[in-house]
Structure 1
Amino acid sequence: MEHFNSDRIKVALLVVALGGLLGGLGFYFTGRPEIASIVWHIGVVPVLAALLVEILRSLSRGEVGLDIVAALSMSAALLFDETLAAAVVALMYSGGTFLESFAEGRARREMRALLERAPRTATRHGQDGLEDIPVDDIVPGDRLLIRQGDTIPVDGKVASASAFLDTSALTGESLPLRAGNGDDAMSGSTNAGEAFDVVATRLAKDSTYAGIVRLVEEAQRSKAPMARLADRWSLGFLAVTVAIAFAAWWFTGDPIRAVAVLVVATPCPLILAVPVALVAGLSRAARFGVLVKGAGPLEAMARARTLILDKTGTLTEGRPRIVKIDSHDGTDPDEVLRLAAALDQATRHPVAQAIVAAAHDRGLTLAVPTDVTESPGEGLTGQVDGRSVVVGGHDFVAGRVGQDMADYAELAAGSVLVAVAINGRLAGHLVMADPLRSGTREMVARLRRQGIEHILLATGDRHEVAERVTEGLGLDGIRAGLTPDQKVLLVLEERKRGPVMMVGDGVNDAPALAAADVGVAMGARGAAASAEAADVVLLVDRVDRLGPGIEIARGARRIAIESVVAGIGLSVLGMIAAALGYLTPIQGALLQEAIDVAVILNALRALRITPSET
């Protein structure tokens, strides 16, 4: 609401300044200069008042900005009855702040999506059967029913024989995990198998998911605000302006020359050129599937030197795929896959669905299985084309065929093994993993060329899995087994090197995205929470879009700086001319308008930035 009110005030000030200038000109050209002066006063005073309030707020925070120069020029022009010049400056200033506000937008929105994902109700076993209760009413010891697809509302212990939990949003583990009776069940995990019971061990407010929400909110509150690019030039420019204006008044005794200097010095090249270039960069980045939530994040993206990457769903596809089929008795690998997929049609387990999809991708025709028996979370048995088929976990299939399969354990390093037995004998293994996205190696090399000096992997997955997946990428480090708060600590530690960019897609990444100088979320399939917490959202499910995004950000920042340098140089020349008496205040205002047009046209070149590799 505060951002909304601020935006409305800026729009209102722009309307008042524009109306005052045009209305005054109308009276002036119809021969009523006195009324014109009054109208110009009316257009300037609200802008000046709002500007003074903003200056006082900045000074209270220990900040000195370019707004002081604009306030001095408007005040001096009004004081010495140069009201038209004051009206022109007011319009330039209000237009610049409005444009800057438009560029920034809302870099931070409330964590609405994250909170909406959290369950509001739960199903509890009561004396009279099942009952739906608010999550906040759950107390430790309550026995809850978690149906297929449900999100676990509070931390607890599995109270059924087995459960399959999708913890990808919390830990980054892309494959569902099997939990047995008495094992921990984290809130925020999703039931990927049959319904099971959980005995609550914590209140909702003390559970894992609620802790992640708090981490995100705390990270956003503690994150240092980004300084405007223009304000980094402000102190020096202010000093030069005051010195030239004072010298002009001191040596000539003519205060109007000082007014002319101040009017020419109104820092519109800084106020206008920077947001125009960055807004153009935002628009250009969006064309390449990179949504940047404001000018500040775009500038920070251009300055980033350290990149921290999540694994699951970011570097990898975030879903299991068959990477290898090992046939152990001479059976054709496609036949092993076909029979396994045919039987797996009878279950909704995510791994089984991935096997079915792989068979379809290979164009295999799947028969309808019969006599199917499923052991939830373990495997299936049944008949396919008159043959007895068993598909499931290593131990499950070994128990059904009475065969020692210890020799095949090495296949499981960093992967999930699905064993397949045909007619009582082990036929093969389907080796499943979450592979790297295509083009990842090229992307890492490109980021190095673009000036990213330090690239780390941060994942909640196991270290051996992370090492296997990223082998050959040339990363500077791997941090595995991280919790959400540990990811935040990693970001804060790496910020000692310089600006940090964090890329992730899960709920567990949201706090780190909020804490980083630039948080980048995978928006196509990533969690809504990470997209809300991030500064940048990749609209397509391709992490390689990060390269063009960074290149555009750096190009837009470079053009903004070029515009600022050129604009300030021309302004300084104009100030010298005004100090020597060659420019009146209104001529100075018009000159400054011409400078504005020039720097804005230059800033708009950011709309034509084309990444070197797309």
Structure 2
Amino acid sequence: MRLAPPLEARERTIVRLFPYALVALPLLGLALGAALWWSASGALAETTWTVATLPVLITLLIQIVVSLRRGDVGLDVVAALSMSAALVFGEPLAGNVVALMYAGGQLLESFAQGRARHEMTALLGRVAHTAMRYQGSGLEEVPIAAIVAGDRILIRQGEVLPVDGRVAGTFALLDLSTLTGESVPQRVGAGGEALSGSTSAGPAFELIATRAAAESTYAGIVRLVEAAQNSKAPMVRIADRYAIGFLALTVVIAALAWIISQDPLRALAVLVVATPCPLILAVPVAVISGMSRAARAGVLIKSGGVLEALAGIQTAILDKTGTLTHGRAVVSDIRSSKDFSEADVLRLAASLDQASGHVVAAALIEAATGRGLVLSSPTNVNETPGLGIEGQVEGRQIVVGGDSFVHRRIGDDDIQALHAGLGLDATTVAVAVDGMLAGVIVLEDRVRDDAGAMLASLRHAGIRRIVLASGDKQEIALAVGNALGVDLTRGELSPEQKVAVVRSEAASGPVMMVGDGVNDAPALAAADVGVAMGARGTASSSEAAGVVLLVDQLEPLAKAITIARRTRAIALQSVLAGLGLSMAAMLAAALGYLPPVQGALLQEAIDVAVILNALRALR
């Protein structure tokens, strides 16, 4: 004996099939009524058409009541009026055609939106659920929720990376198309970073997890995509702005046609050709198409309202660190005193810094291991947060930190001598060994190689003004700003001052703020459009931003701006063209040149045309 499916599953099936049933009923009624009409059963044919119209009309009336309770007045009212008037005035065939065209239009819109959502839906469908983790001398399959930083995972060919990590062993060949839109697989060498959500396109390799699955790049993307899909596309406000006016104009034209001609069928014809109107269908399809196209380019736009705002941006305000630069310090130079070699200075400093979690410590360790230096374990470590660290390495007393921190411990006045030739914007770390100055390590947060090209692409996309707003020293910010040719550079800004810059620039037009850190979150929220660099940036910046770049590059942002502007143009084009054609048809119907049934067919042709035009935003 077969058990009945669970109630919830049956309800989901009913909801999924209901739109198809709503189209099938008037279609069947239309065909059956036509057969009865040709068999000389006119009365029975009209009854059949009436019965076939009622399910669509009742469903539409329920939707209208629900919308009115929310305070929304939509153009569905015109469709309800035309069907009701057709039945009242004894034109059930016209009512049946309108019902079929309306239900078919809704189904067509649903199909078009599903096609438009494809890229974002594809992102959700790639979530990994388990991973092969090394345990002792063997492998075990574990849920990705059990993976923590430091776990060693086997990634087989064709598998989606479940967490962010670093490649162990030789190399990995990764398909990043889902994240970046780039179709050519990327080779990542040993120690290189591999992002969750990418696919192994080469031989199996081992991955050292750098963060838990819930904190990974792809998990952040999935959360953002789900939020974007659940949000209403606010560019539909275009329809809302015109809905009441268009509804009133339709009723006025229909009433005048009836009063002047004394023929109620002319009023009915006017209502029919105004149903369901391209405003209902074209705008949401265009908006979702644009959002999906942007996701394919590596940019997640959280809502249609953000897409609409992005299309009008004139000024871009960019944070420096992590936006125009790589966001992490690297060793660019080592200056040693006469008693120490450069390798000794770096090796001893990096060995001690293994006990520190500071970003500068990470840079020294990375530089030392990259040069093949063997690090020793530190002991008796004492760190002064933000200033420096001291302890013992290989039995020697080591001090690493800022100039003043090291100077207070060794009293050596030669530190400044090692700074000769360095600019005011240089970042340095002094190193002392056994009370003697050993050297100075120069650090640099390098400007991205493609930063100039990225800013040029923003200008090409229509950005008129670019402002650099940084929390770094003014000298450092000016050096970067002058090198890249921005219009204005502001340095040494607090989060509050960044907000002030955003508001000041907003006086001249819509502003976009781009950043990646906690200190950027207030400015991101204050801007017309906030853009977070990389889905693996801080949670606060991603939540405050309306746009999230799925990779740490600015180039996709320029593509997104172009897509947003093209999408808005297509949406407006669809609305204006659809309204123009509908208005012309309404006038023809009011003058008696367009009967109700032919008007319904013409209106459906208009709807199909504007939906197909809206889908152009996918290309």
Could you state the TM-score of these two structures normalised by the residue count of structure 2? 0.66
Cα distance change of structure 1 residues 488 and 340 upon mapping to structure 2, 3 Å threshold: closer
Q: Which residue of 1 aligns with 2:54?
A: 41
Matched residue type, 2:560: G
Cα distance change of structure 1 residues 78 and 314 upon mapping to structure 2, 3 Å threshold: farther
Q: Which residue of 1 aligns with 2:161?
A: none
* C-alpha deviation, 1:286, in angstroms: 0.8
Q: Which residue of 1 aligns with 2:381?
A: 374
1:514 corresponds to 2:525: yes
1:84 corresponds to 2:86: no
* C-alpha deviation, 1:44, in angstroms: 1.4
Cα distance change of structure 1 residues 388 and 268 upon mapping to structure 2, 3 Å threshold: same
Cα distance change of structure 1 residues 569 and 500 upon mapping to structure 2, 3 Å threshold: same
SS of equivalent to 1:303: coil
* C-alpha deviation, 1:291, in angstroms: 0.9
Q: Distance in 1 between matches of 2:82 and 2:15?
A: 17
Matched residue type, 1:23: L
Contact kept in structure 2, 1:76 and 1:259, CA below 8 Å: yes
SS of equivalent to 1:229: helix
Matched residue type, 2:50: S
SS of equivalent to 1:354: helix
Contact kept in structure 2, 1:44 and 1:87, CA below 8 Å: yes
Cα distance change of structure 1 residues 28 and 553 upon mapping to structure 2, 3 Å threshold: closer
Q: 274-283 vs 305-314, which deviates more?
A: 305-314
**Correspondence 1:393-542 to 2 at 5 A:** 393-399=402-408, 401-404=410-413, 405-407=415-417, 411=422, 413-421=424-432, 425-542=436-553
Q: Which residue of 2 aligns with 1:583?
A: 594
Q: Distance in 1 between matches of 2:323 and 2:452?
A: 13
Q: Distance in 1 between matches of 2:238 and 2:491?
A: 36
Matched residue type, 2:287: L
Matched residue type, 1:352: A
Contact kept in structure 1, 2:335 and 2:418, CA below 8 Å: no
Cα distance change of structure 1 residues 424 and 606 upon mapping to structure 2, 3 Å threshold: same
Q: Distance in 2 between matches of 1:293 and 1:570?
A: 33
Q: Distance in 1 between matches of 2:338 and 2:264?
A: 99
Q: Which residue of 1 aligns with 2:274?
A: 265
Contact kept in structure 2, 1:24 and 1:36, CA below 8 Å: yes
Q: Which residue of 2 aligns with 1:354?
A: 363
1:302 corresponds to 2:314: no
Q: 2:63 aligns with which of 50, 66, 69?
A: 50
Cα distance change of structure 1 residues 89 and 463 upon mapping to structure 2, 3 Å threshold: farther
SS of equivalent to 1:475: coil
SS of equivalent to 1:587: helix
Contact kept in structure 2, 1:312 and 1:318, CA below 8 Å: yes
* C-alpha deviation, 1:370, in angstroms: 6.5
Q: 2:324 aligns with which of 300, 307, 315?
A: 315
Q: 229-238 vs 351-360, which deviates more?
A: 229-238
SS of equivalent to 1:312: coil
Deviation per CA, 1:114-154, whole angstroms, max 9, x where unpaired? Answer: xxxxxxxxxxxxxxxxxxxxxxxxxxxxxxxxxxxxxxxxx
Q: Distance in 2 between matches of 1:520 and 1:588?
A: 47
Deviation per CA, 1:251-271, whole angstroms, max 9, x where unpaired? Answer: 432222222222222353222
Matched residue type, 2:322: G
* C-alpha deviation, 1:53, in angstroms: 5.4
* C-alpha deviation, 1:77, in angstroms: 3.8
1:601 corresponds to 2:612: yes
Q: Which residue of 2 aligns with 1:19?
A: 21
SS of equivalent to 1:472: helix
Cα distance change of structure 1 residues 371 and 277 upon mapping to structure 2, 3 Å threshold: closer
Matched residue type, 1:83: G
1:341 corresponds to 2:343: no
Matched residue type, 1:379: I
RMSD: 4.0
Q: Which residue of 2 aligns with 1:230?
A: 239
Q: Distance in 2 between matches of 1:297 and 1:317?
A: 27
Q: Distance in 2 between matches of 1:14 and 1:343?
A: 62
Q: Distance in 2 between matches of 1:552 and 1:546?
A: 10
SS of equivalent to 1:432: strand
SS of equivalent to 1:417: strand
* C-alpha deviation, 1:550, in angstroms: 1.0
Q: Distance in 2 between matches of 1:276 and 1:366?
A: 58
SS of equivalent to 1:360: helix
Contact kept in structure 2, 1:531 and 1:537, CA below 8 Å: yes
1:565 corresponds to 2:565: no
* C-alpha deviation, 1:607, in angstroms: 1.7
Cα distance change of structure 1 residues 565 and 328 upon mapping to structure 2, 3 Å threshold: farther
SS of equivalent to 1:502: strand
Deviation per CA, 1:363-415, whole angstroms, max 9, x where unpaired? Answer: x221343775533132345556x998654332343355542024456848344
Deviation per CA, 1:155-186, whole angstroms, max 9, x where unpaired? Answer: xxxxxxxxxxxxxxxxxxxxxxxxxxxxxxxx
Contact kept in structure 1, 2:117 and 2:289, CA below 8 Å: no
Q: Distance in 2 between matches of 1:56 and 1:234?
A: 17
Contact kept in structure 1, 2:461 and 2:559, CA below 8 Å: no
* C-alpha deviation, 1:90, in angstroms: 4.2
Q: Which residue of 2 aligns with 1:548?
A: 559
Matched residue type, 1:367: V
Contact kept in structure 2, 1:74 and 1:90, CA below 8 Å: no
SS of equivalent to 1:257: helix
Q: Percent identity?
A: 51
Matched residue type, 1:413: L
Aligned length: 475
Q: Which residue of 2 aligns with 1:134?
A: none
Q: Which residue of 2 aligns with 1:138?
A: none
Contact kept in structure 2, 1:41 and 1:83, CA below 8 Å: no
Q: 42-51 vs 24-33, which deviates more?
A: 24-33
Structure 2 unaligned segments of length 5 or more: list them.
1-10, 37-43, 119-233
* C-alpha deviation, 1:529, in angstroms: 2.5
Matched residue type, 2:313: A
